[in-house]
Chains A and B, each alone.
Chain A
Amino acid sequence: MKYRKILLGLLLIAAGMTACTKQLDALLVNPNAHSLSTADVDLLLNNVQINFNSFYSTASD
C-alpha cells in the first residue's frame, strides 16, 4: 500500500512536470514580439528613409 502511494505520487509529479513544461513553452512566447514573418517591414523602412534624409541634411550643412 505504501509503495503504491509512493508510485502514485511519483506519477503525479511526473505528469505535473510534463504539463508544466508544455504550459511554460507557451508562456515563453512573447505575444508582442515580431517574427520574421510578421514584422512590419514597411514601418521600419519608413524610419530608415526619414532618418536617412536627416543624416543627409546634417552631413550636407
Chain B
Amino acid sequence: MARQQYWGGPLYNNAYSPASFDGEWTTAYSSVLNNAKALIPLAQAQLKYTESGIARVLSAYTLGTLVDQFGDVPYSQAELGSANTTPGVDPGASTYAAVQSMLDSAILDFNKSGATIPSGVDLYYNGSKANWIALANTLKLKFYMQVRLVDNTAAAKIQALVTANNLITTPAQDFVFQYSKTLSPDSRHPHYAADYVNSGGVGEYLSNYFFWKVAAEKYSGNVNLPSTAAAPTTGDPRLRYYFYRQQTNYANANQQSLPCYTNYSNNVFPVWYPSVPSATPYCVVGKGYWGRDHGDNSGAPPDGAYRTAWGVYPAGGEFDYSQGKAVALGMGAGGNGISPIWLSSFTAFLEAEAALTLGTTVGTGTPATLLTSGVTQSINKVVGFPTAIGYVNTSIPANALASTTQITNYIALVNSLYTAATTPAAQLDIIQSEYAIALWGNGVEAYNNLRRTGSPKNMQLAVTTAAPGIFMRSFFYPSVFVNRNSNAPAQKTPGTAANKVFWDNNPDNFIK
C-alpha cells in the first residue's frame, strides 16, 4: 500500500480479501502472544527476567502493530484459553495504553537482577539488556508519535523520552532479525527465496514508484545511475544495493513482455497522471529497472527473466554493478539478509518529525540536522551492509560502490531540498520522503507514516482508473476472526469506507 512493493489493485476494495490476513493474525495470536503469555510467569518464577522482558517487548510490538493495521482488536479477552474462546475487541486506544504498560514492565524486568540469559538464546541482541531497554524506549516513542494527532498529552511524553535519550541511536543498537544462507530448513530472507531461483526468474514485482523515488525523482525523473567508468559523484548511494537488475535496458520490452510499453513509447499516459517522468513514473523508469505501476492488475507475462529483484540490502541478494545477469539460486549474499524492524536512522527521522511538528527539543538538533542524521545513518547502514554480513564479490568494480563524494553530494542535495521547502508541510514531506527511502524492507512503518502524515505526497496514482476507491486506512478483519468468532465486529469495507484506526484523524481522501 505504501508503494514499496507492487500492489495489484485495480480497486482498493478488491485488492485484498479477508483471507489475505489470516496468516498474520494467526501467527500473532496463536504463536507470539500465546507463547509469550505462557512464558512470562515461568520466566518470573525462574528469575529469568531478561527472557520475560523480551517476551513483553515482542508482545507490545505485535499488539501495537495489530491495532495499526486492523483497528480495534482483541486484547483483554484474548489468550484466556477455554475461559473465552470468542474474545471481543478492545478499543484501539485501550490496547495502545496496554502496549505502553507492557513496555514499562519490560524495562522493569531488564533492570532486575536475575539469571543470565544463556548465550545464543537472544536472537536479536545476544543478551544485551541495555539494547533491549533502548528498544523498549524507542518503541514507546514510536507509539506516542503515532497518537500525536489525537492525544494532546503525547508531546510531553515524547519530550521526556527524547530528553532521557536512552533510544536506538547507533547502528550497533539496530533491531533486526538476521537470516542466513541455509536452505534446509529455509532460513533465507523471504524475498531472496522468492527472487533468486534457477528457473522461472524473479517471482514478484517491485514497485515502479519506489524505483523512481530512489533513482530518479531528484533528477528530473531520469534515473541517475552513474557508470562504473569512474567513481560516482551523484545519485542515491543506496541504489545499487537496494535493487538488482537482470537487464540494464529494455531490449526485451514489447507488447507481450510489457503490455504498457507501447503506450509508454508513444507518450500515451493515464490522463489523470501528473507529468511523466518528472512528477511520477509510468510503465518504465529507465536503465532496465523492471517493475509494475500502482494498481496494474493485468496478467503476468513471461517476464521473470527481466524483472528487477531485491538487492543485497536488506534481502541478501546480489549487488548491482550493471552486470545484467539472470538471477540464480545462491547468487549474491545467498539470502543472508535482515528484517530491518527498527534502525537508528528511523529514530532520527522520527525525532525530526517531532521537532518539526511538536516543537520537541532534541538536544541541539534541528529538524534539518536530524534529517541529515537520518539520511547519513541510513546510507552508512546500507553501503556497509555487504561487509557486515560477510559478502565478498571480487568481480565488483570499485567504481560501482558508493563513494564518499557521492554520499556527501546526496546529503547536500537533500539539505538543499529541505532549505527550499518554505512551509512546515513541505518540510515534513521532505523528511517523510527520505524516511520512506530509508525504510526499504519495512512496510510496517511506511504504511503507518503515510497514514499519519500523508507523505510522501507524490505517491504514484492508480494506473488503470482515476477512481480506485478510498485508500485503505486499515485492513479487512481476517476471515479466521470474523468467520469463527461470534463476538467479532462486523467486517469492515476498506476501499469503500476509510475505516481509519483510532490515531488517524486525517480526512478520508487524505491519501490516493
Residues of A at the B interface (CB closer than 8 Å) are 34, 36-37, 39, 41-42, 44-61
Contacts and interface: CB of A to CB of B under 8 A. Distances in A.
- Interface residues of A: mostly helix, strand, loop or mixed? helix
Given A55-B24, A56-B339, A50 B123 contact: yes
A54 B28 CA distance: 9
B27 interface: yes
B310 to A, nearest CB: 12
B182 interface: no
B109 to A, nearest CB: 13
- In this complex, the interface size class of chain B, counting residues with CB under 8 Å from chain A, is 35 or more
Given A48-B36, A52-B58, A41 B27 contact: no
B121 A56 contact: no
B238 interface: no
Interface in B13-33: 23-24, 27-28, 31-32
Contact of B58 (A34, A37, A49): A49
Nearest to B55: A48
Given A49-B124, A51-B27, A57-B190, 6 more contacts: A36-B42, A45-B43, A45-B51, A48-B36, A52-B32, A59-B69
13 contacts: A34-B42, A36-B45, A41-B46, A42-B48, A42-B117, A45-B55, A49-B54, A49-B124, A51-B31, A51-B35, A53-B177, A56-B339, A59-B444
Nearest to A36: B45
Interface of B: 5, 23-24, 27-28, 31-32, 35-36, 38-39, 41-43, 45-46, 48, 51, 54-55, 58, 61-62, 65, 69, 117-118, 121-124, 177, 190, 339, 341, 441-444
| A-B pairs, 4 with minimum CB distance | A51-B31, A36-B45, A53-B177, A60-B443
Contacts of B35: 44, 47-48, 51
Given A48-B35, A58-B23, A41 B48 contact: yes
Contacts of A53: 177, 339
B32 A61 contact: no
A45 B121 contact: yes
